[in-house]
Amino acid sequence: MEEKLRGYSLVVLSFSGLLLAGIVVSFALGRFPIGPLELFTALGDKFGELLAALTNGKIPATPGDGVTDQMRTILFNVRLPRILLACMVGCCLAAAGAAYQGVFQNPMAAPDILGASSGAATGAAFAILLQLGARMVMVFAFAASLVTIGLVMLVSRAARGNRVLRIILAGIMISSLCNAATSFIKLVADPNDILPAITYWMMGSLAKTKAESVAFAAVPMAAGLLPLLLLRWRINLLTLSDDEAKTMGVNTGLVRGAVIVCATLVTAASVSVSGLIGWVGLVVPHLIRRLVGNNYRHLLPASMLGGALFLLAVDNVSRNLLSTEIPIGILTSAVGAPFFIWLITRKKEAI
């Protein structure tokens, strides 16, 4: 037990260090590199400005040397929001994937299992068709995703049979309807302007990330992640029968419902601001499980760090590999699928 705890602590510390290092490196990559010295100087300047504003000038701001206005604009308006959002989306998708795999006791469960991604795609496609602007695309995607989950829950409650199987089948059915609606929207969209925008959104990208995108997603992400962290030890009990869990004072139905709602909330928030990004919620929890084990008290926090690090690394590749940015959803599929094939075909490992 003590060895496992030390191993978990080592993984968390290693991933935390790698994530911090990856964030610093991410600022230095790109057409306008911002080195560590310029980065910390600019952040110090911003902190000084905030402190001066809070104290009404009693503590004056003292700008550092070596940071141009162009650097500050790129740092605070372009690169910082994008890096933050990449970490947030990766963290949420990995946490949702781990939570779904625990709730459904299915190693193939992923964040889009209940149709959250399909619903978001339909909402975003409809907003793009109406030419409502980037902010309304996020709002429509988020709202449609939540409505989709509501329909899945209603259908699953009306059906008969195993509870978990009902939810999965209802998710598949509603996802199919959403995919059909999205296909119809693409059919009637202007092929010269609207259709390419819908197609590009569905590939997943962080290219046009702004501070308002981070602010829009931060609240529902926090509202979903915090309960998941608080409930993570109870997810372990979902492997038991309902009767066994009740003898331990745990209402498995309530826990299962709460975990599904929270995981779906963070999925909807992520998809609404980044488009469709696959494989993060499937691959990362499997990799982390081999490092820290199946105990969700350790697995969930480590998966969140691993997901943030993974998506940050993939986003750096997407914006620097070629002169034209590659949609991040393409890269996560290109990396995730072969890695998962290798993972499941290892002779000494089993899913």
| DSSP state string for 126-177 | HHHHTT--HHHHHHHHHHHHHHHHHHHHHHHHHS-S-HHHHHHHHHHHHHHH
Burial track 308-344 (b if 16+ CB lie within 10 A, e otherwise): bbbbbbbbbebbeeeeeebbbbbbbbebbeebbeeee
Does any domain span residue 50? no
Does any domain span residue 83? yes
CB distance 301 to 94 below 8 Å: no
pLDDT of residue 208: 83
pLDDT of residue 60: 55
Per the structure, how many domains does the chain have? Answer: 1
Does any domain span residue 45? no
Counts for the chain of helices (H) and strands (E), in that order: 14, 0
pLDDT of residue 190: 92
pLDDT of residue 347: 53
Query: Is pTM beyond 0.85 here?
Result: yes
Report CA 19 to chain centroid distance, whole Å: 15
Helix, strand, coil proportions of the chain in percent (round to 5)?
75, 0, 25
| Separation between Cα atoms, residue 118 and residue 169, nearest integer Å | 14
pLDDT of residue 43: 83
| Separation between Cα atoms, residue 154 and residue 58, nearest integer Å | 58
- Phi/psi for 241 (5° steps) reads -70, 160
For the chain, residues with pLDDT lower than 70 are: 1-6, 52-54, 56-66, 241-242, 343, 346-351
Does any domain span residue 319? yes
Does any domain span residue 111? yes
| Separation between Cα atoms, residue 139 and residue 143, nearest integer Å | 6
pLDDT of residue 348: 55
Label residue 32 left, alpha or beta by phi (over 0 means left) and psi (-120 to 50 means alpha): beta
Does any domain span residue 278? yes
CB atoms within 10 A of CB 230: 11
Q: Which residue range forms the structural domain that includes residue 307? A: 2-33+68-344
Q: How far is CA 175 from CA 116, 139, 146, 204, in A?
A: 8, 19, 13, 18
Q: What is the CATH number of the domain that holds 223?
A: 1.10.3470.10
Does any domain span residue 282? yes
Does any domain span residue 60? no
Structure tokens at 270: 């992520």
